[in-house]
Amino acid sequence: MTIKQLERRAVEEVRKLRVRKLKNGMPFMINSSELPSTQCYLEYPNGTINIVTICHKNYDFKVIKELTFEEANSLRKKYNLPEI
Q: For the whole model, what pTM was predicted?
A: 0.87
CA dist., res. 14 & res. 59, Å (int) = 23
Q: Name the least confident of 30-34, 58-62, 64-68.
A: 58-62
Is it the case that residue 1 has pLDDT exceeding 90?
no
What tens digit of pLDDT does each residue of 18-59 get? 999 999 999 999 999 999 999 999 999 999 999 999 888 888
Q: What is the mean pLDDT of the chain?
A: 94
Closest CA to 18 of 39, 47, 50: 47
Do the Cβ atoms of 84 and 22 come closer than 8 Å? yes
